[in-house]
Structure 1
Amino acid sequence: MSEARILRLNLAGQPIEWIHWQEAVCLYARDLVIWSLGGVVRQVTGGRSRFTGLTSRIQLPSIIACGGSHMAPMRTVPPLTNRALFRRDDYRCLYCGKHFNFLQLSRDHVHPTSRGGRDRWENVVAACKRCNQHKSNFLLSEVDMPLIALPYRPNNAEYLALVNSDRIRGDQMEYLRPQFSRNSRWL
């Protein structure tokens, strides 16, 4: 299993990004962590204080909220990648309904780009290569291939769960899940 990442929130508790433990240590050292939640992901041992002789230790929780005006803003539209798209659609072809692995899936534009469709969350679905080839550049009204679910843009909380689903901790998912959109297939 991969090393767990830390979920960084803004001061209002909105999820921003996943960070590595080294970045979290820097945020603590710069006194930018305002509050935290969750279990300890890692304990970091530092140097010895010349005044007390004690070794410094930081216990890093799985979720931290940071302040500061220079901190990265929350994304308004999550980046569209095949990995996140296929996870959104649960590795299922949204035409035939069967599950496939990553290499057997492709991105299908519901409204084909060759006919003015755009490459955005609300216009793409996971499709097996057979269904994608059969649909070709037809509109849904021109071919008998109904969608089993409608495409949607995940909000930032859901997107963060999608891109880190193989490394997400229970306490992090518990924090993110109530913020998922009502369209989410992850609820």
Structure 2
Amino acid sequence: MEARILRLDLAGQPVEWINWQATVCLYARDLVSWSLGGVVRQARGGISRYTGTRTVIDIPAIVACHGGWLGRERYVPPLTNPALFARDNYQCLYCGNYFAPQFLSRDHVHPRSRGGRDRWENVVAACKRCNSHKGDKLLKDISMDLLALPYRPNTAEYLALINSKRLRGDQAEYLRPQFNHLQHI
């Protein structure tokens, strides 16, 4: 599995995951301002006909570049089942049991049929049994409780969630202080 490089803005805020080829392009366009972490890969270019030397770029785990996302303070990470299940640590937030992703489903705490919205603050990971049992009922109407409150992950948390299987130690160490909620990564 190929490592991904964490791209930051100039202020050090996480922006996205990029591959090594995109990182080489950033270096070639002189957009990398600073970098951190160990070397993920070494990219070798062609041999200069003037100097006879080969271009070699050590690609670090983390790069900070000019540019970023505009309106980041309003950025809402995309809600996907893999990110949701990772946020809830692959645990059904009703029965408390842990499941493989294929045995989990997205449950709307306030059901969509009753005006609930499909957003981070209203969804939890639920095993299919609990989700079926709850159906379109409100928690106050049945004998079910949530084990934790749903929340929207910030950008650092979201980037860790979607890359948790390939997250390097130096990248996790950089992102962790920016987490508001996640403790298990």
- Normalising by the smaller structure, the TM-score range is over 0.9
Identify the residue that residue 125 of structure 1 maps to in structure 2.
124
Can you give the 5+ residue segments of structure 2 that lack an aligned partner in the other structure?
none
In the alignment, the residues of structure 1 paired with residue 81 and residue 176 of structure 2 have an alpha-carbon distance, to the nearest angstrom, of 22
C-alpha RMSD of matched pairs (Å): 1.2
Tell me the equivalent position of 2:161: 162
2:184 is matched with which residue? 186
Query: For 1:127-142, what aligned pairs fall within 5 Å after superposition?
Result: 127-142=126-141
Residues 38, 61 of structure 1: 8 Å contact kept: yes
Do the aligned residues in 2 keep the contact of 1:89 with 1:185 (CA within 8 Å)? no
The alpha carbon displacement at 1:49 in A equals: 1.4
Residues 18 and 160, structure 1, Cα contact 8 Å, conserved in 2: yes
Q: What is the CA distance between 1:19 and its match in structure 2?
A: 0.2
Q: Which residue of 1 aligns with 2:17?
A: 18
| TM-score normalised by structure 1 residue count | 0.95
1:186 positional shift: 3.2
- Counting only pairs closer than 5 Å after superposition, residues 46-57 of structure 1 correspond to structure 2 as 46-57=45-56
Secondary structure of 2:82's counterpart equals: helix
Identity of aligned residues (%): 69
Q: Equivalent residue for 1:100?
A: 99
The residue type paired with residue 50 of structure 2 is F
TM-score, normalised relative to structure 2:
0.96
1:24-173 equivalences under 5 Å are 24-68=23-67, 71-73=68-70, 74=72, 76-173=75-172
Q: What is the aligned length? A: 183
> CA separation of 1:63/1:54 partners in 2, compared to 1, >3 Å: closer, same or farther?
same
Paired with 2:61 and 2:126, the residues of 1 have a C-alpha distance of 35
Which amino acid counterpart does residue 65 of structure 2 have in structure 1? C
CA distance in 1, matches of 2:183, 2:93: 12
AA of the residue aligned to 1:110 = V
Deviation at 1:62, TM superposition (A): 0.2
C-alpha displacement of 1:185: 4.0
Q: Distance in 2 between matches of 1:101 and 1:56?
A: 45
CA distance in 1, matches of 2:142, 2:175: 38
Question: Could you tell me which amino acid in structure 2 is paired with residue 89 of structure 1?
Answer: D
